[in-house]
Amino acid sequence: MSVNGQSQTHDVEPRTLLVHHIRENVGLTGTNIGCDTSSCGACTVHVDGQSVKSCTMLAMQAEGTAITTIEGLAGEARADGSATGEQNWHPMQEAFQQCHALQCGYCTPGMVMAATSFLKENASPTEHEVREGLEGNLCRCTGYHNIVKAVLSAAGES
Amino acid sequence: MIPAAFDYKVADSAEAAISMLGEYGDDAKLLAGGHSLIPMMKFRLATPTVLVDVGRVSDLNYIRQDNGHLAIGAMTRHTEVEHSDVVKSAAPMLAHVASLVGDPSVRHRGTLGGTLAHSDPASDLPAAVLALGGTIVAQGPGGSREIAASDFFTGFFESVLAADEIITEVRIPTSTGGWNYQKFNRRAQDWAIVGVGVAEGGAGVSLVNMGSTPLRARAVEEAVAGGASAAEAAELAADGAEPMDDNNADAAYRTHLAKVLTRRALEAAGVS
């Protein structure tokens, strides 16, 4: 598989979950483990560009796919090649910062990954559609209001 | 939580999967999207010793219109059913119900064949296929057979599928009548406490989570066919159903809910 554009080869036990593979074998710990029951979305990554809960996918199922984690999103070049800010953040990450769309931050990587996948399917959503589109991601600080604002702001920008 | 150890095999075709199921017998399970099976394996409610991964059999991922029906390959993901213009036009209820399953990330992985084979009475799509009068095509070592959805589900997480059979296709008659789907739950992404599907202006009516299998509400269908009003027909919604008590609701509440939701669904589908 490739992870954030880099080809990776590992031997894994078949029962290894994708989230454990990403954190322990690949060594990228930005992807969090929350509920571990595909409810909370903290472990959301992209598999071939679509959001997936990586606690509910075997690493073996991702063989040959392209995985993007929160670490890889920042480096994703913009269509026009322009860099934004010191870290070349993704517009969604900028929007989360500007709208203060996080409190404790635990759900944030998953929220950002789910939100970027959602905007690929619905580029100019209504507020209600954003809320429905993020129904698989829980913020236990209950800071949804600014998260929704951030997604709408990022949608307006793209 | 980590599943118990198993061997992982990749099948690159339906035939390869059938042959592996024959070889490994009852110890093997098919893995499609994995969004029902993997959680059960993590809780150790399922402990297959061999997983046969059919999730990447691309031959089984298609949506097309054949003679008077919609044909959907078993490995078609919920997100593809939800967004397909072909499905939206030929069987809009199916596209709508697909959009209500779990959440977007779940729908990126879950498959139509997988949810039918899993046969969970609380799932949305099996009930939609029932209401729409769908047919399930299963392939085994001896060839293919067509099974009416109304004959498919036999018990709690059980179907007529043999241990060495795989669902290859789901067929839905092109649907033009009024339809509606009522899903009652308390939180986003939950399963329905009770759900009701109405297709073809009340000719097909199905119930979610009102017994050990997805159910057809035949008494309601017959009443509608006999000219009953939505309110009259809905009173029969729980006839023959055996809803369970659980943390969300007891059987009496579910029975009440089935009647209310059936009336709403019938009215929205154009039954006055």
Which two structure tokens, joined as six digits, stand for B149? 């959805």
Q: What is the mean pLDDT of residues B1-25?
A: 96
Q: For residue A11, is pLDDT > 70?
A: yes
Instruction: Note the pTM of the prediction, 2 decimals.
Output: 0.95
Of B6, B103, B106, the CB nearest to A14: B6
Q: Which residues pair with B184 in a beta bridge?
A: B194
pLDDT at residue B107, rounded to an integer: 98
Q: State the average pLDDT over residues A32-48.
A: 96
d(CA B262, CA B217) in angstroms, rounded, equals: 9
Check CB contact of A47 with chain B, cutoff 8 Å.
Answer: yes
Q: How far apart are the first and last CA of chain A?
A: 29
* A68-92 residues labelled b (16+ CB within 10 A) or e (exposed): bbbbbbbeeeeeeeeeeeeeebbbb
Helical (H) or strand (E) element with B10: strand B7-10
Strand partners for B171: B71, B135
pLDDT of residue A157: 67
Confidence of residue B67 (pLDDT cuts 50, 70, 90): confident
CB contact under 8 A, B5 and A15: yes
Q: How far, in Å, CA of A96 to CA of A92, rounded?
A: 6
- Indicate the pLDDT class of residue B229, thresholds 50, 70 and 90: very high
- Show residues of chain B in contact with A114, CB under 8 Å: 104-105
Check: CB of residue B27 under 8 Å from CB of residue B40.
no
Looking up tokens 């900028």, which residue turns up?
Answer: A94
* A37 close to B (CB below 8 A): yes
Distance from CA of A98 to the nearest CA of B (A): 25
Give the rounded percent of residues in chain A with a pLDDT score beyond 90: 88
Contacts for B195 with CB less than 8 Å, ≥ 6 apart: B124, B127, B181, B182, B183, B184, B207, B208, B209, B261
pLDDT tens for A108-133 read 999 999 999 999 999 999 999 999 99
Could you say which of A36, A53, A132 has the minimum Cβ distance to residue B105? Answer: A53
Is B248 an interface residue toward A (CB < 8 Å)? no
Q: How confident is the model at residue B175 (pLDDT cuts 50, 70, 90)?
A: confident
Per-residue pLDDT at A88 = 80
Question: What residue type is A2 in one-letter code?
Answer: S
Backbone angles phi, psi at B87, to 5 degrees: -65, -40
A20, A114, A132 ranked by CB distance to B105: nearest:
A114
pLDDT confidence band for B38 (50 / 70 / 90): very high
Which helix (DSSP H) or strand (DSSP E) does residue A153 occupy? helix A144-157
**Predicted confidence (pLDDT) at residue B141 exceeds the cutoff of 80:** yes
A135 Cβ under 8 Å from any chain B Cβ: yes
Question: Looking at the DSSP assignment, which residues form a beta bridge with residue B66?
Answer: B69
- Position with higher pLDDT, B110 vs B25: B110
Share of chain B above pLDDT 70, in %: 100
Which of A12, A24, A39 is most worth mutating to test chain B (most B CB atoms within 10 A of its CB)? Answer: A39
Length of chain B as a residue count: 272
Average pLDDT on B146-155 reads: 98
The pLDDT of residue B98 is above 80: yes
Element (H, E) at B47: none
Contacts 24+ apart (CB under 8 A), A127-136: A127/A152, A130/A155, A132/B188, A133/B104, A134/A41, A135/B103, A135/B104, A135/B188, A135/B189, A136/A39, A136/A41, A136/A44, A136/A53, A136/B102, A136/B103, A136/B104, A136/B105, A136/B106, A136/B188, A136/B189
Amino acid at residue number B42: K
Alpha-carbon gap, residue A15 to A58, rounded angstroms? 7
Min Cα separation A41/chain B (Å): 8
Mean pLDDT of A39-52: 97
Contact B104 A117 (CB under 8 A): yes
CA-CA distance, B112 to B167, in Å (whole number)?
A: 10
Min distance B9 CA to chain A CA atoms (Å)? 9
Among A24, A38, A47, most B C-beta atoms within 10 A, so best to mutate, is: A38
Residue A76 pLDDT greater than 70, yes or no: no
CB contact under 8 A, A61 and B34: yes
Tokens at B132, concatenated: 């729409």
| Alpha-carbon torsion, ordered B236, B241, B244, B247, to 10 deg | -30
- Whether B2 has its CB under 8 Å from any CB of chain A: the answer is yes
Q: Which of B4, B5, B106 sits opposite A136 (nearest CB)?
A: B106
Q: How far is CA A54 from CA A22, B99, B148, in A?
A: 9, 21, 35
DSSP 8-state class, residue B117: H
Tell if the CB–CB gap between A136 and B102 is shorter than 8 Å: yes
